[in-house]
A and B are shown apart, each in its own frame.
Chain A
Amino acid sequence: MGIDKNAIQELVDVLVARGLGLYGKEKMAKICSDSGVALLDDNSTDWLDDDIMGSLNKFLVNYAGFNIASRMTVMVLMKMVNIPLPEELQRKKKRKSRFRRLLER
């Protein structure tokens, strides 16, 4: 895929650093373990799984799930390090109005 692993590591480290400040250690430890990322005692991170991209995607989706601000943070940082957004965070390009969807139910 040609993605720089250092950039990935930097991205996760930035999100972990921000997340520890914003959401606390307990929540960050949980999304790290849920994602296959080890949160070490010195607040650095390591990968628990060989599938780094899979773990990264899970971590990003979990982090973005905190709230709108965390989602925006993920989107901005990914743009800065030029990593494609996980499919789960991508949006449909076209949909129907709520009115039409209700009519079709």
Chain B
Amino acid sequence: MSKIDPKKAIEIKPDVWWIGWPDHDAGFSNNPYLIIEGDEVILFDPGSRLDTHWQWVKKKMESVVPLEKITMVVVHHQDPDLCAAIPFVEQAVGVNNFEIVTTERTALFIPYYDVKTEVTTVDDGESIEIGESGRELRFITSPYLHFPGAMVTYDTKEKLLFSSDIFGGFSIDWALYANEYYLEAMKVFSQPYLSDQRHVRNFLGKIKDLDIEMICPQHGSLIPRERIKEAIETLYNLEVGIWE
């Protein structure tokens, strides 16, 4: 795979961009993504409101498209490393001038970030059509992984699964694309964060028939098609929820 510059926005598929930042000290990369479909600009999990973090995201995003062009923000659960920057989007775009999409359970917490924009709630299996080509964002709930209202998004056009914390990894030696060591990084992240093998297997059952080109987690590395099978098998057999 060609060498990438993590200081720049990376186009991972046509008009799909990684605009995250690797925190090498924490071993905790954060991965907001951007989809541009015609006039619609969809931002997934904007991230933290720490100035250092948000400035990365903003700068990378604006190297692709102006911030005020955002039409939708998808948030996969309510944690601050995904949601705390939504007010910055609101400042740039204007209250209710864009759409926030998440589950009902997560929607309860979005106003806690001082977000005024109304939230569009979705449930398991619902889709939102974007653009004029019939492209859909399909939402799949992932209960208790690691929040009751957690969800993931499947992009029907590029066959990308934006998997939030599922398939995430910890890694000091971070790489944008998963390498041969990534499964261990994924285990280290998943064992304390994911609640119960029952919930993991329930979720894996929901995605088993999806044709997935790449898994795009919120933390860690992107998992290309050739590594997806082993990642799923690893997660299926992993003992999780063992914190005492």
Whether B99 pairs with A72 at a CB distance below 8 angstroms is no
Q: Interface residues of A toward B: which range?
A: 10 to 19
Q: Which of A16-24, A26-34, A45-53, A86-94 contacts B (4 or more CB under 8 A)?
A: A86-94
B111 CB to closest chain A CB (Å) equals 11
Q: Which of A54-83 contact B (CB under 8 A)?
A: 68-69, 71-72
Q: A68-B104, A68-B108, A71-B104 are in contact. Are A96 and B123 (CB under 8 A)?
A: no
Cβ contact of B123, chosen from A91, A97, A98, cutoff 8 A: A91
Q: With an 8 A cutoff between CB atoms, is B72 at the interface?
A: yes
| Minimum distance in angstroms from A22 CB to a CB of chain B | 15
Structural contact, B39 and A98, CB atoms closer than 8 A: no
Known: A98-B99, A99-B99. A91 touches B105 (CB 8 A): no
Residues of chain B contacted by A92 (CB below 8 angstroms): 126
State the CA gap A97–B38 with chains docked (Å). Answer: 13
Residue among A71, A93, A97 with the most chain B CB within 10 A?
A97
Known: A68-B104, A71-B104, A72-B104. A97 touches B71 (CB 8 A): yes
B130 at the interface (CB under 8 A from A): yes
B4 at the A/B interface (Cβ < 8 Å)? Answer: no
Our pick among B40, B72, B121, B126 for the contact of A93 (Cβ within 8 Å) is B126
Q: Are A99 and B71 in contact (CB under 8 A)?
A: yes
Decide yes or no whether A100 CB sits under 8 A from chain B: yes
Total interface residues on B, CB under 8 Å, equals 21
A72-B104, A72-B105 given; A94·B129 CB < 8 A: yes
Please tell me which one of the listed residues A68, A91, A97 contacts residue B40 in the complex, with CB atoms under 8 A apart.
Answer: A97
Q: In the complex the two chains form, is A96's CB within 8 Å of B107's CB?
A: no
Q: Which residues in A have their C-beta under 8 angstroms from that of B120?
A: 98
Interfacial chain B residues near A91, Cβ < 8 Å: 122-123, 126
Q: Is B155 an interface residue when CB atoms closer than 8 A count as contact?
A: no
A40, B203: Cα distance in complex, Å: 43
Residue of A nearest to B40 (CB): A99
Shortest Cβ distance from B96 into A: residue: A98
Q: What are the residues of chain A within 8 A of B108 when measuring CB–CB?
A: 68-69
In B10-66, the 8 Å CB interface with A consists of 39-40
Q: Residue B241 at the A interface, CB < 8 A?
A: no
Interface residues of B in 109-139 (CB under 8 A from A): 120-123, 125-131, 136
Separation of A99 and B130 alpha carbons in the complex (Å): 8
Is the C-beta of A95 less than 8 angstroms from some C-beta in chain B? yes
5 closest Cβ pairs, A-B complex: A98-B99, A99-B71, A94-B127, A96-B129, A97-B130
Query: Which B residues form the contact surface with A (CB < 8 A)?
Result: 39-40, 71-72, 99, 104-105, 107-108, 120-123, 125-131, 136
Contact residues of A with B, CB < 8 Å?
Answer: 68-69, 71-72, 91-100
Given contacts A99-B71, A99-B72, 4 further A-B contacts (CB under 8 A): A94-B126, A97-B40, A98-B120, A100-B131
Listed by A's residue number, 13 A-B pairs whose Cβ atoms lie within 8 Å are: A68-B108, A71-B104, A72-B104, A91-B123, A93-B126, A94-B128, A94-B136, A95-B126, A95-B127, A97-B40, A97-B128, A98-B120, A99-B39
